[in-house]
Amino acid sequence: MKMPAAFADQTKLIIISVLLLAANAVLAAAVARNPVLASAFTRLKDRFFQKLKGSAGGRSVKQALRGGGSGIRSGDEAGLYGGGASGRYEGMSLLERIELLYIGKSNIRHYLPFMNVYILLLTIILIFVAVYRPVYSLLQFIPSSVVISGILSVSPLFALELLSRYNAETIRRKLSEYISVLSRWCSVKEDIIYAFEKSLVSNVGEPLKTFIRDMVIQVNRGMEPGEALDILQMKVDDPQFRDFIINVKLSIRHRGDIIKLLSNLENQFYKIDEEYNRRRISTYKDRILIYFIMFAVLGVGYFFIRLSPQVGSFYLDTVTGKVLLMVFSGMYAFGFYLTAGITRFRSQG
């Protein structure tokens, strides 16, 4: 006797759910037996819960990034300005991290002075609302539609991250020249903060000019130079710039020979720049290529579903296809999350 279509679809759904549960069990066993996988999942879990933590007290990083008063207390938030990426963001709330990672680093306020984290989140929500209806009309399945619409809605974050990477690469290319400018001003007065302030009248260029101006304002308003330099360091994801800031901080702390330090750094960074130019290394272009390929997957999937009636009928009209599409969408979103985390980690390393 032939089973009703609804009962057959429910049976398929139960079978697929059991298979997915079995796959999860196998994955869990593999993670338990493999220390490398276990540590990777532990790091992902720690990162997720750290993002949900609120700030630990003291003055808001967001206010400091905007040039406000004394900033974060060095005693309460000492771990925030550590050398590693995890220690650097410890004690920051999720909104403050978004403010730093996407608003501060991209220097978007130079072009859109009204931009803040709330306007950014509102833009993401509006994009989600705008794209959800056409996506749902295509897929006719809420979970997959939510995932795909969510990926499309966070496109401003990817654009701001690309802008941040472009800023970091621009600063790296001009760092040797800027250190030369600082060295000349230090020859006038052996005070690095004085040199930073006077360098603003030189042809520094954006975004470094805005970052340096904010740092000078913070120091003039009472913030400790070390903390202001820490915030400046967090705005630029470049190892050369980080080395430069660390050396300047040590020179301020131990009252070293700043002119000699700048001269040595200038010679060192000129050699590194020559190597970059010789090998044509550009992390900014690499990141554009990665994001272009990942977003192109959506276009390829759309054309497959639209141009092939068999494929479209399977993924849009059957329970099995809809569940598989939901799983693939979730894996695709997770891949985006991992890619963004890996590229950010590499740029900070």
Residue 18, pLDDT score? 57
The conformation of residue 80, written as its DSSP 8-state character, comes to G
- Residue 221's contacts (CB-CB under 8 Å, 6 or more residues apart) are 67, 68, 69, 70
- Residues 30-64: tens digit of each pLDDT: 555 555 445 555 555 555 555 545 443 344 444 55
12 or 221, which is more confident: 221
pLDDT at 56: 39
pLDDT tens sequence across 259-302: 898 888 888 888 877 777 666 655 667 777 777 777 777 777 77
Between 57-61, 89-93, 156-160, 161-165, the lowest mean confidence (pLDDT) is in: 57-61
Which residues are CB-neighbours of 175 under 8 A, at least 6 positions away?
Answer: 238, 240, 241, 244, 269, 273
Q: Dihedrals φ, ψ of 166, to 5°?
A: -65, -40
User: Percent of the chain at pLDDT above 90?
Assistant: 15
- What average pLDDT is seen over the chain? 75
In whole angstroms, what is the distance from residue 240 CA to residue 245 CA?
9
Judged by average pLDDT, the poorest of 34-43, 86-95, 280-289, 304-313 is 34-43
**Residues 158/291, Cβ–Cβ less than 8 Å:** yes
- Based on its alpha-carbon atoms, the radius of gyration of the chain, rounded to whole angstroms, reads 25
Q: How far apart are CA 235 and CA 62, in angstroms?
A: 12
pTM for this predicted structure: 0.64
Least confident stretch, 13-27, 31-45, 171-185, 329-343: 31-45
| Cβ neighbours for 252, distance < 8 A, ≥ 6 positions apart | 192, 225, 226, 229
pLDDT for 219 equals 92
Half-sphere CA count of 127, side-chain side, radius 13 A: 16
Is 144 in contact with 330 (CB distance < 8 Å)?
Answer: no
Q: Is 175 within 8 Å of 244 (Cβ atoms)? A: yes
pLDDT of residue 205: 84
Contact 64, 72 (CB under 8 A): yes
Quick one: average pLDDT of 53-76? 43
Weakest mean pLDDT among 207-211, 290-294, 317-321: 290-294
Choose between 75 and 109: higher pLDDT. Answer: 109
Note the pLDDT of residue 215: 92
H or E segment at 49?
helix 35-52
